[in-house]
């Protein structure tokens, strides 16, 4: 999900996750109204990474990740194994015994990503798994930005529906299958990312000049933008 600041990306994500209630219509998950899902059942099927994860208590990192396993019962040997694997997947296994409140912003973001990955690590019952990420690369350095989206892509390849709010068009071009583009509260384009992110649309929505440059050895182009003179 892409769009300029104020386009409605986070608001739409909050509607889809049930944090906000729509003024009209309804939000359904697998054909069932979101409000009719039991919290525990929903938690086994869907994990949400908010734009800001506020946690003021000095929990060890491994216990923060374990919070993702609570809908599944939590704290069995298998749950701890999954938490350790999730931390390793986001290259944060060395943080397991650290106190969460002592981490940097980027470290906290990786721990929270491990938490939501642990929540949907294995399929639970019938139906899809969902991973909803609001700016998952915020606060991460370049290597960990790519690592986070590679991890999300792995889950997508194994049957998890992944919806991520992103600001970086090139990260979207590199990792997304499809793109939704929002502007002024409306969805103005949707479809395969390489078909949606055209210079014309980027220019119209983001108010910049844009061109697509081929990359050697890559199927998708690189997006170059500049301010309009």
CA 154 to chain centre: 13
Residue 221 domain-assigned (yes or no):
no
Residue 111 domain-assigned (yes or no):
yes
CA 149 to chain centre: 8
Look up the domain containing 181 and give its range. 9-192
Q: How many Å apart are CA 45 and CA 40, to the nearest integer?
A: 9
Average pLDDT rounded to a whole number, residues 34-63: 90
The CATH number covering residue 150 comes to: 3.40.50.300
User: How many domains does one find in the chain?
Assistant: 1
DSSP assignment of 194-225: HHH--HHHHHHHH-SEEEEE--TT-SSPEEEE
Residue 27 pLDDT > 80: yes
Residue 200 domain-assigned (yes or no):
no
Residue 4 domain-assigned (yes or no):
no
Percent of the chain topping pLDDT 70: 100
Residue 100 domain-assigned (yes or no):
yes
125 is written with which tokens?
A: 């019952």
Residue 214 domain-assigned (yes or no):
no
Residue 74 pLDDT > 90: no
Q: What is the mean pLDDT of the chain?
A: 93
Residue pair 153/175 in contact by the 8 Å Cβ criterion? yes
Residue 210 pLDDT > 80: yes
Residue 108 domain-assigned (yes or no):
yes
Look up the pTM and report it: 0.92
Given the DSSP bridges, would you call strands 160-165 and 129-134 parallel, antiparallel or unpaired? Answer: parallel
pLDDT reported for residue 53: 78
pLDDT tens track for 114-134: 999 999 998 877 788 999 999
Residue 28 domain-assigned (yes or no):
yes
pLDDT tens track for 161-182: 999 999 999 999 999 999 999 9
């Amino acid at each position: 999900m892409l769009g300029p600041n104020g386009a409605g990306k986070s608001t739409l994500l909050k509607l889809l996750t049930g944090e906000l209630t729509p003024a009209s219509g309804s939000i359904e998950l697998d054909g069932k109204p979101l409000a009719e899902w039991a919290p525990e059942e929903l938690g086994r099927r869907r994990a949400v990474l908010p734009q800001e994860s506020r946690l003021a208590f000095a929990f060890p990192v491994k216990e923060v990740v374990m919070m993702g396993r609570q809908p599944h019962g939590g704290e069995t040997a298998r749950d701890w194994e999954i938490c350790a694997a999730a931390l390793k997947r986001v290259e944060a296994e060395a943080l397991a015994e650290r106190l969460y409140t002592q981490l940097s912003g980027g470290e906290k973001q990786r721990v929270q990503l491990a938490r939501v990955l642990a929540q949907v690590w294995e399929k639970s019952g019938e139906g899809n798994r969902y991973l909803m990420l609001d700016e998952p690369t915020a606060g991460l350095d370049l290597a960990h930005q790519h690592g986070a989206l590679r991890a999300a892509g792995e889950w997508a390849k194994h049957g998890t529906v992944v919806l991520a709010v992103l600001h970086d068009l090139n990260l979207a071009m590199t990792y997304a299958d499809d793109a939704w583009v929002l502007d002024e509260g409306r969805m103005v384009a949707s479809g395969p990312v390489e078909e949606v992110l055209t210079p014309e649309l980027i220019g119209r929505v983001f108010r910049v000049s844009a061109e697509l440059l081929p990359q050697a050895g890559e199927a998708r182009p690189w997006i170059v933008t500049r301010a309009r003179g």
